[in-house]
Structure 1
Amino acid sequence: MSEKIPATVITGFLGAGKTSMIRHLVENNGGRRFAFIINEFGDLGVDRELLTGCGIEGCSDEDVIELANGCICCTVADDFLPTIEAILARPDKPDHIIIETSGLALPKPLVKAFAWPEVRTRTTVDGVIAVIDAAAVSEGRFADDHDAVQGQREADESLDHESPLEELFEEQLQCADMVVLNKTDLMDEAGLVKVRETVSSYLRGGVKTVASAHGQLGADVLLGLGAAAEDDLDSRPSHHDDGHEHDHDDFDSFVLPLSSVEDVDALEERIIAAVRDHDILRVKGFLDIPGKPMRQVIQGVGPRIQRYFDRDWKGGETRESRLVVIGHHGLDRAAIAAAIAG
């Protein structure tokens, strides 16, 4: 029997830096042949575009398979298994499969799928890597003080459910074989110590944390963990082991088309204001800037916005500006669109 192909599941909250980490892996692949499964939340396949448009040698369109109809854990039978089987059926099989989950996905149902007969004999989960926005956690967001939140929940009958954000944060950490504390360049040493303490309270025994900036960790650190996670499901606790999967109706997303952007700084200010005034978790997309031959990527989590040019507009390609807005269920789409469009 041929050796099983290892697969790494990269999970983490919105804006934690998963795509940046994958780009770094592609650029420093050490001759490995990777296949990527990018699971996008929303109608605009931004993450896949960032990989296929990166111009990195060895990163071809056929190596990136996108599942764009929601979280893997919701559609694992319909989408994920056929995708894995298609990769395994290729004559030039990859050395490693890398799966980037949606920031809203629970990792455990995906790991369970690797135990299914269709793939169990041919693949193994080398490891689940949870990427954490350490700077955000140090600022008190995403369950910064779990004990205080839990105490308040137990003392107040009107707070008898944990927030979806806290639950996701906890489940991603509890399923992890390694946790990457990303964006440490945005914080001081005292803040990093605080984050390590916060994160460690969720982790299973023996799970290591690794600090990074811009997701720049090598394949020798991230790959080759040998966890065989599909055989170790019982040690990975989940709120949803009773069969009730996470209700992704807690979250909403929509695509916002924009005209050409003359003043990007003004747009950024409007986005920051919209994030402040509405229940927005994440904004990401592409901008058409008149007079510029290249497309600009814009990504934001909370009030922090990142922009950079990723590639030239292609010949015959329609130049357009489009954003994906992701937030809690019940987003006021009209108000948000008006606020961002100006």
Structure 2
Amino acid sequence: MSTQIPVTVLTGFLGAGKTTLLNRILTEEHGRKYAVIVNEFGETGIDNELVVDADEEIFEMNNGCICCTVRGDLIRILAGLMKRRDFDGILIETTGMADPAPVAQTFYVDRDVADKTRLDAIVTVVDAVNLTTHLEEAHEAAEQIAFADVILLNKVDLVDGAGLKAIEARIRTINPYAKIVQAEKCGVPLDTVLGLDAFSLERVLEIEPDFLTGDHDHEHEDDVTSISLTLDAPLDPDLFNMWFGQLLRERGQDILRSKGILSFLNDDQRFVIQGVHMLMDGNYLGDWPDGQPRSSRLVFIGRDLDSMSLREGFEACRAA
């Protein structure tokens, strides 16, 4: 067992805070080096740029979910990493639409992966504000909780005490075994999420008896799609804020996730926006890297996106 590399899977529904947790791990002083694999639902990658500038190498998988269409890519990346072994562990951040079952199955049914790696834990980040809505929206949210060894209940500062008790009770009906850790902005001691040796095959077999032998190809609901937009010209901040704000107010219930890296007129810094339904947060990411085009990229994941005229609205925010 000592020769196997530990793997931690960071999962959770769209906007729960997985990248925030990943950044906390990479910036803490723990003396360990990690290989990082980031998966996104949309064809245009943004999450890898939101990961802090650390020594770790980031492997990005786009245009598919790690649990289905790009699962073969995961096996190939792991095989390449095993030839190097110049790190202490592997962190996998799944897309918010991932089912953890096929991801976990990879570490048991692929012989080469099973011999050289060990699934240490599945850590599921849960959005305390939107959990009820997420469970109603998509079966993946419940699956992520069911397979968790640790549940990081995030954004607890935005929910009152009675609400938190109700949320924990709801989680317990899905997974009575996982440890629940409350957090604000994923601020938890690293020993609550790393080096746990917590993944239990026996418990998983209780949930899914055919876990090791069954076909776990995962299909997402057809009505959930993604749209990736790019604009090379700078944006007018007033026009953008007006359009984006109105969009979230009127159609936010259908927008499961929105995120972007934006270039505003007369601004030398990248501006990052991240939204979950009608809630949106924004902050500066730092100066544009030398040699990188100052283009704005915006990604939406949701339902009925084609009816929202997203491309036209985004184009209309172009600075004069």
TM-score, length of structure 1 as denominator length: 0.83
Deviation digits for residues 6-32 of structure 1, max 9, x if unmatched?
Answer: 101011000000000000111104111
Instruction: Choose the corresponding residue for 2:116, options 95, 104, 122.
Output: 122
Instruction: Choose the corresponding residue for 1:79, options 51, 60, 73.
Output: 73
Corresponding position of 1:256? 229
Shift, 1:142, TM fit: 2.0
Instruction: Choose the corresponding residue for 2:83, options 71, 85, 89.
Output: 89
Instruction: Choose the corresponding residue for 1:111, options 72, 96, 104.
Output: 104
List alignment gaps of at least 5 residues for structure 1. Answer: 144-162
Shift, 1:113, TM fit: 0.3
Corresponding position of 2:193? 222
Deviation digits for residues 298-320 of structure 1, max 9, x if unmatched?
Answer: 11111111111112112222111
Cα pair 2:155 2:183 within 8 Å, conserved: yes
Secondary structure (helix, strand or coil) at the match of 2:310 reads helix
Shift, 1:230, TM fit: 5.2
Q: Which amino acid aligns with 2:49?
A: E
Q: State the 4+ residue runs in structure 1 displaced beyond 6 angstroms.
A: 238-242
Root mean square deviation, CA, Å? 2.4
The answer to whether 1:10 aligns with 2:7 is no
List alignment gaps of at least 5 residues for structure 2. Answer: none
Secondary structure (helix, strand or coil) at the match of 1:168 reads helix
Give distance in 2, aligned partners of 1:65 and 1:36: 6
Corresponding position of 2:246? 273
Secondary structure (helix, strand or coil) at the match of 1:135 reads coil
Check 1:326–1:290 CA distance in 2 against 1; reply closer, same or farther (3 A cut): same
Identity %: 35
Shift, 1:333, TM fit: 5.8
Deviation digits for residues 151-190 of structure 1, max 9, x if unmatched?
Answer: xxxxxxxxxxxx6x34111111111101111011222222
TM-score, length of structure 2 as denominator length: 0.89
Secondary structure (helix, strand or coil) at the match of 1:311 reads strand
Cα pair 1:125 1:228 within 8 Å, conserved: yes
Q: Which amino acid aligns with 1:169?
A: A
The answer to whether 1:211 aligns with 2:182 is yes
Q: Which amino acid aligns with 2:190?
A: A
The answer to whether 1:299 aligns with 2:274 is yes
Shift, 1:242, TM fit: 6.2
Shift, 1:4, TM fit: 1.2
Corresponding position of 1:19? 19
Cα pair 2:8 2:120 within 8 Å, conserved: yes
Corresponding position of 1:142? 134
